Amino acid sequence: MLNAVGIAFLIVIFVNFFLETMLSVLNLRYLKQNAGHLPSVLRDQIDLDTYNKSVRYNHDSGKFGMLETAVSLLLIIYFVYWGGFARIDALARTIDPGGYYLPALIFGVSIFLIKLIIDVPFNIYNTFVIENRYGFNKTTPKVYVADFFKSLIVSAFIGIPLYLGVLWFMAKAGDYWWLWCWCFIETLQALLLIIFPVWIAPLFNKFTPIAEGELKEKILSLSKKAGFPSQGIFIMDGSKRSKHSNAYFTGLGKKKRIVLFDTLVEQMRLPQILAVLAHEFGHFRLHHIKKIFVINSIVFLAGLYVLSHLFRLEIFYHGFGFSHPSNYAALIILGLSASSLSFLVTPIFSMISRRFEYQADEFAIKNLEEPQAMPEVIAVLTKENLINVNPHPWYSFFHYSHPSPVERINALKRRLKS
């Protein structure tokens, strides 16, 4: 029978579902209303056929996302309110009566595998139907299967020690387990930033040091001017899986690597590639990565502190269908429901991220020999990736970590004129 905790949890996830659905419907209708009406700021760079193709792509992706959200909601409701979690927990405890870590591991792995089984068909459809329909997918079934098992192994090597480590602190660290867990997880995140580019990323992609020539010389010159410490510049074979393009830097301290997708190098002229990198260097020099890390860390610490109090209450476990306290089960449930429970702070994080994007654009303009390449970059990325050029304002407010292409190009042009 539902208690106050169970009812409150149910209300929160339904409010989140209603809000997400409403925003998605608004955005899909806005897409259809604007079909055939390409914003004037992009008419020199994008033809009407490509624009209408982007409308269809975003419409199909949006409808598919709504279906996936609905299935996730039904999954949570079934497992929480029809005893699914409690049954798996009871089974795990019969294998090791009186145990803690083995039942916790069995429970956690079981829920992970169930979620995986549900997610895989969605991922396959998105990759081989939607992405393929619009010319993005380059993944073969062989590559997809190899990626699947590699991801499974990496998830096990990282996820299981992390999960059991958190449970150990919960069992052994007393009333301040939440603080020790926070330190443990933050340390592990920092370690992953170091090992990811060297050990994990090469499992999935080939990273080739950039060849000697004008592109390398210009990038090195720009990184020196922008004060960006780099250990190397690499081209990643992103075209092995998709035609989508990107660039990023990874690593800590002076161990940073600049990574360019091969698709981005093919799609852009040299000044445009430099504009992409100048923008990324701006995030570094303006300390955006550190600021986001600190904000996330504080929010995460606050969340663990709240959980430490909730986990002391028997009514909390009863609200999720358990007849006895089960810290690991509650931890898994809340992890699965994290997006639903954090919907009120999502627009705040999106707003902060958009502000950082504007600031990084301004940094790029100040450090480029050809600053007019920056608005060109937004147009190229929009065209090549079929980005929604003008999303519904409310949808953008809640979910867009970057300003929409129209907003961003207008801001850049104002900045170039000033």
CATH number where 224 lies: 3.30.2010.10
244 and 97 both lie in a single domain: no
Number of domains in the chain: 2
More confident residue, 35 or 141: 141
pLDDT tens, 142-195? 999 999 999 999 999 999 999 999 999 999 999 899 999 999 999 998 888 888
255 and 295 both lie in a single domain: no
User: How much is the pLDDT for 123?
Assistant: 96
Q: Is 357 a catalytic residue?
A: no
Residue range(s) defining the domain that contains residue 277: 205-289+348-417
140 and 181 both lie in a single domain: yes
Last residue within a domain, chosen from 280, 308, 343: 343
Q: What is the 3-state secondary structure (H, E, C) of the chain?
A: CCCHHHHHHHHHHHHHHHHHHHHHHHHHHHHHHCCCCCCHHHCCCCCHHHHHHHHHHHHHHHHHHHHHHHHHHHHHHHHHHCCHHHHHHHHHHHHCCCCCHHHHHHHHHHHHHHHHHHHHHHHHHHHHHHHHHCCCECCCHHHHHHHHHHHHHHHHHHHHHHHHHHHHHHHHCHHHHHHHHHHHHHHHHHHHHHHHHHHHHHHCCCEEECCCCHHHHHHHHHHHHHCCCCCEEEEECHHHCECCCCEEEECCHHHCEEEEEHHHHHHCCHHHHHHHHHHHHHHHHCCHHHHHHHHHHHHHHHHHHHHHHHCCCHHHHHCCCCCCCCHHHHHHHHHHCHHHHCCCCHHHHHHHHHHHHHHHHHHHHHHCCCCCHHHHHHHHHHHHHCCCCCCCHHHHHHHCCCCCHHHHHHHHHHHHHC
pLDDT tens, 227-278? 888 778 899 999 999 999 888 888 776 667 889 999 999 999 999 999 999 9
Q: Is 361 a catalytic residue?
A: yes
pTM, full prediction: 0.91
pLDDT of residue 204 exceeding 80, the answer is yes
188 and 101 both lie in a single domain: yes
218 and 164 both lie in a single domain: no
Burial label, 89 (beta-carbon count in 10 A; 0-12, 13-18, 19+): buried
In this prediction, what percent of the chain has a pLDDT beyond 70?
99
Which residue of the set 280, 362, 376, 407 is catalytic? 280
User: How much is the pLDDT for 319?
Assistant: 78
248 and 379 both lie in a single domain: yes
Which residue of the set 20, 131, 357, 361 is catalytic? 361
